[in-house]
Amino acid sequence: MSDYLGDSSNSNKLVIQQEINWLQQQPDGILFKQISGDNCIAVKKIKSFLLLLLADTETLTTNVAQSILDLNNPIHLIFPYARAILLALIWKNSPKRIYIIGFGGGSIPKYFHHYFPDATVECTDIDPTVVEVAQKFFGIQFDDKLKVAIQDGREYLAEQNAIVKNDIIIVDAGFGSGYMPYKFVTQEFYQLCKTRLSSAGAVVVNLFHKQMFNAAAVKTIQTVFAQVYLFHLDTGNSIAIATNAPDLTKNEIFLKSEIIQDFYDLEFSLIEMSQQLKKVAQLPEWVKNWETLPVFTDAAIPAEYLE
């Protein structure tokens, strides 16, 4: 474990709080709206919460908030899936390099930057407007430890120096329709992740709510990684954690999560979430169809994938 954060952590939180204080005085409603590519990006305030919304440009409607910021506690992770991503710490409890595909409002990068100030957090997003909004409204401040590139996440990963390994790779890029871009679910993509991962490092994938393809995505991940653990959310999302580290027993997972929980004094129960981690063999609704599921490859995108 790294040294206790102490004053540096509190100072960082205070700086972020000062950056967003002006938003407390703003009225409820839409504070920002702009067309960017196929999306209309909007920022909406509801009391002490700020939502980043990506709406379809034709209907201007969405059921998906990309990020939520608590103006009274800007480091707090509100989305359950974002909290579940921290289960990767069970395999790398003191990460030195973290790579995140999909920036949004920056809540996950900001969280890692806050709790692991010595780690380098590199991020990518294809939409510059989203990143600008994150800086203006969501308290994001870039420095030599928190960086973002406006680039396709897979291309950026391929261009990373192969000698420098990431301890955690997070894939959090999806459409409002509930699908991940196909380039992030293929065997070739996960093989690339493997080459950019440190020993016993972990790849964390936010599998969106189209369950029909999530099982095939997990099967694809298993062709590359020895261990794949799954965490299901009530929203329909699943978090997959893939690693080539030795398999952990349920008790080992519990003990590791307990140490992390106590050390970082997390405001939610990582211990409770860790006990819900499962392997594919423990998911009968997937196992019964396992042999018939495809393995996704770059060469053969299923015709119905984006329908």
At 106-123, the pLDDT tens digits run 999 999 999 999 999 999
pLDDT band for 4, please (50, 70, 90 cuts).
very low
Answer positive or negative: Cα dihedral of 251, 254, 256, 262: negative
**Residue 39: pLDDT over 60:** yes
Query: Mapped to the 3 state alphabet, what secondary structure does 136-149 carry?
Result: HHCCCCCCCCEEEE
Tokens of 7: 């004053």
How far does Cα 268 stand from its chain's mean position? 17
Please state the rounded mean pLDDT for residues 32-60: 83
What confidence score (pLDDT) does residue 177 get? 59
Tokens of 184: 């992030």
Which residue do the tokens 């393809």 mark?
A: 213
What confidence score (pLDDT) does residue 175 get? 63
**Residue 71: pLDDT over 50:** yes
What confidence score (pLDDT) does residue 224 get? 98
pLDDT band for 284, please (50, 70, 90 cuts).
confident
What order do you get walking across the sheet with 120-125 strand by strand?
Answer: 146-150, 120-125, 97-101, 166-171, 197-207, 238-243, 227-232
Averaged confidence pLDDT in the chain: 89
What confidence score (pLDDT) does residue 2 get? 43
Q: Around Cβ 102, how many Cβ atoms within 10 Å?
A: 22
**Domains in the chain: ranges and CATH:** 7-70 (no CATH), 80-292 (3.40.50.150)
What order do you get walking across the sheet with 29-36 strand by strand?
Answer: 29-36, 39-46, 49-56, 65-70
Which stretches of 91-177 are assigned E, i.e. beta strand?
97-101, 120-125, 146-150, 166-171
pLDDT in tens, 159-209: 999 998 999 999 998 765 567 889 999 999 999 999 999 999 999 999 986
What confidence score (pLDDT) does residue 54 get? 80
Encoded amino acid at 297, one letter: T
pLDDT in tens, 237-280: 899 999 999 999 999 999 999 999 999 889 999 999 999 999 98
Q: What percentage of the chain exceeds 70 in pLDDT?
A: 90
